[in-house]
Structures are given as structure tokens and as C-alpha cells.
Amino acid sequence: MKAWVFASKEDLGGWIEQDPSGLPDLPVLVRITHSGINYKDALSLTRHAPIARSFPMAAGIDFVGSVIEDRSGAFLPGEVVVATGNGLGETTWGGYAEQARVRPEWLTRLPKGLSQEQAAAVGTAGLTAAMAINALERFGIAADQGPVVVTGPTGGVGSFASFLLKHAGYHVIAATGRLAESEYLMANGAAEIIDRAELETEPRALGKERWRASVDVIGGKVLANILSAVRYGGAVAACGLAGSMALPVSVAPFILRGVSLLGIDSVMAPETTRRAAWNRIAAAAAAIPFDRIVTRRRFVEVADLAPKLLDQQLRGRVVLSW
């Protein structure tokens, strides 16, 4: 079978013919039909970050496919499943391959209302966006309480966050460094668009109250500035570090305005959290503008696409198929 494999920590990786007998000895064998390119995938493929930590390793942190066999008995042959997180492409065989062996608890049956391609379009990015919105709602952020600012709105997480928030009735502010994409952003759910540059200045301890909440994928000064402008009692769901892992923020928003910072992890999230996120996506599936969000490509193109994603030359979600 074909697989994109890093042979060692120093190896730049590439497509090889892999004997399926070399897959991890895990219960469920899946024939992979689709995957996507997430920010973490792009970092891995370009070796900008040491995402793969066990070798040999097939890249790809999510996939969609059909079950060939399951020694655990949890799935029947032919069932369509989705896999995200749980170390795929990092510590265990990833999704850029024709087959994978995984644990049954890492798999979710294809949600009703979604095709295999659509589930791959959602992937880790869409799932993370849904988890972020669910976290804000659990915190108590309602649609009628004020605007929600979304960073990285042309990317995978941001595209889904914007649409899902709009679908739930929220007023969405898209903070972007790509103002030329305004038409895409408005069609995807943004009610307002602001230049991200205004969030990249040196953070103030406390700024003017501008929004009730945020879904942030950038981190760094952007996240610090967002926090300083959250209205009293609001919250930020932080789910990315595209700008920086640092957080140069004052404690003022937390102790003077009661602002909360909610961490969103889609890698090791429990099944209940994943299922709630998939349920949100499935409920909105009929209205999700997949044709606008999705760019369709072949698996063999993945190495050429990864640097383009890091350079912000792509928008929405890239779905890979054979």
C-alpha cells in the first residue's frame, strides 16, 4: 500500500510502498478513503515542527475510511468511520496511507447527514471549531449577549467556527490578515470584518470592551489583545498557536472583568466531547457550504500543498482522496 512515511527523526519523508504487515498491532484495520491538511499536518510535512515523534511514522492526524476488520468486535466490516487526534501521525500510524490500524475508541461512526468527503472536510479543524463553540455555550455565552470574534477565519478552524456560530445565531466578527477575502468571509457567516493588524500591536493591560467572546487560533499578541477587549464576564476559547505559543497578557482582564480563558484540546478529548461536537456539526450539515469551504486534491499532492497552507495561500479546508 502507499503511505507518506518519515523513516526517522531526520528523514524528510515521502511516499513509499508499505507492507500492511508493518502496521501497528491494533484491533481495527481501516481502508482510508479521505483525509485533509490541518495546520499541524503542514508543520509535520514541512518539518517546521517535530510533530512525528515515533518512527517509522505515516503522517496525517485524521482520516475517513471503511472498516476492513475489527478484532475487538466494536465495528462491522464496511462501516464508515472517522478518526481524529489520539496521536495519529504523531505517536501512531497516521492518515496519509491507504490503510491504518487503530484502537476502536479512536473511531467515530460516520455521523448521519455527512458524506465521507464532508466528514473529511470537517476533520480535526471542524471538530475543534465545534468543541470551541460548545465550550463557550457551556460557559454560558449565549447568542444574544454580544459579538464573537474569530481569528484565522479563512483557515479550517476559523471557517467552520464562523459558519457554526452564524448558524447558531451569533454575531460574528472575523479578524483577518487577508482583507481581500472579505467576500468569502461574509458569505461564510461574518457580520463584520476587522484587520488583524490592530490585534498585533503591543497588548494593553485592559482595552475597550468590544466583544463578548472569541474563538482564537493565533495565540501570542493577538490573543492577549483579544482578552483585553472581552466584555465583563466573557470568555475566549483558545485552540491554536498559528502566531505564537507565548501569551504576553496582563491579569487585568481576569481579575477586573472576570474574563475566562477556555483551553480547547481535540487530540485527547474524551468520546463524550467528540460526540457532542459531531452532533453540532451533523445538525448543521445540510446548511454548511461545503462547496465554498472545500478544495479537493489528491493524496499525492500533499507535500506541495503543505507549505501553501503555512503561507496562507489556501483557504477553508483541503480534502484529500485517492
Sequence-ordered list of residues with C-beta below 8 angstroms from that of 180, at least 6 positions apart, any chain: none
Does 101 map to a domain?
A: yes
pLDDT digits (tens, 9 = 90+) for 94-143: 999 999 999 999 999 999 999 999 999 999 999 999 999 999 999 999 99
Where does the pLDDT of residue 10 fall: very low under 50, low under 70, confident under 90, or very high at 90 and above? very high
Query: Do 74 and 154 have their domain in common?
Result: no
Where does the pLDDT of residue 148 fall: very low under 50, low under 70, confident under 90, or very high at 90 and above? very high
Q: Which domain holds residue 216?
A: 125-263
**CA distances in angstroms from 54 to 5, 7, 200, 225, listed in the order given:** 11, 9, 36, 37
CATH number at residue 143: 3.40.50.720
* Residue 57 confidence (pLDDT): 96
pLDDT digits (tens, 9 = 90+) for 164-176: 999 999 999 999 9
Query: Do 162 and 205 have their domain in common?
Result: yes
Range list of H helices, the chain = 39-46, 116-139, 156-167, 182-187, 220-228, 252-256, 271-284, 290-293, 302-310
* Arithmetic mean of pLDDT, 188-192: 97
pLDDT digits (tens, 9 = 90+) for 65-103: 999 999 999 999 999 999 999 999 999 999 999 999 999
Single pTM value for the model: 0.94
What SS3 class is residue 90?
Answer: coil
Query: Do 80 and 155 have their domain in common?
Result: no
The three cell numbers of residue 198 are 490592530
Give the position of cell 485592559: 206
Number of domains in the chain: 2
**CA distances in angstroms from 257 to 140, 207, 228, listed in the order given:** 15, 11, 9
Query: Do 132 and 258 have their domain in common?
Result: yes
CATH number at residue 25: 3.90.180.10
Round the CA-based radius of gyration of the chain to a whole number and report it.
Answer: 19
Does 57 map to a domain?
A: yes
Does 269 map to a domain?
A: no
| Dihedral sign from CA coordinates of 298, 291, 264, 200 | positive
Query: Do 138 and 221 have their domain in common?
Result: yes
Give the position of cell 476559523: 158
pLDDT digits (tens, 9 = 90+) for 241-259: 999 999 999 999 999 999 9
Where does the pLDDT of residue 43 fall: very low under 50, low under 70, confident under 90, or very high at 90 and above? very high
Query: Do 17 and 78 have their domain in common?
Result: yes
